[in-house]
Amino acid sequence: MTDRDSKPCRKVLDLLPRFIENDFSPEEWAEVQEHLPHCAGCRQEYEAMQRLVDTLETLPTLDVPASFKEAVMRHLPAKPDKP
């Protein structure tokens, strides 16, 4: 049984999205690679994320009108100015 509340699991689970996208430091890569073979819960989470990414990459790209971004942005709350 995996303890997902353990410090190593929490750290690896936090790193997984970046790991899937190949956006990690060498140290983070080593930490995830060391942890996954020994932790079924984290390994299952990694595999589920990877399947989702693989599925999303097979979806067709949609063509949207150039005005789409402007229309969406008009409906979002304004960002507060930075001090």
Interval 9-52: pLDDT, tens: 999 999 998 888 888 889 988 999 999 999 999 999 999 999 99
The answer on pLDDT for 1 being more than 50 is: no
pLDDT at 5: 65
pLDDT at 22: 84
**pTM over cut 0.85:** no
The region, left, alpha or beta by phi > 0 then psi within -120 to 50, assigned to residue 14 is: alpha
pLDDT at 19: 83
Token duo for residue 12? 């690896």
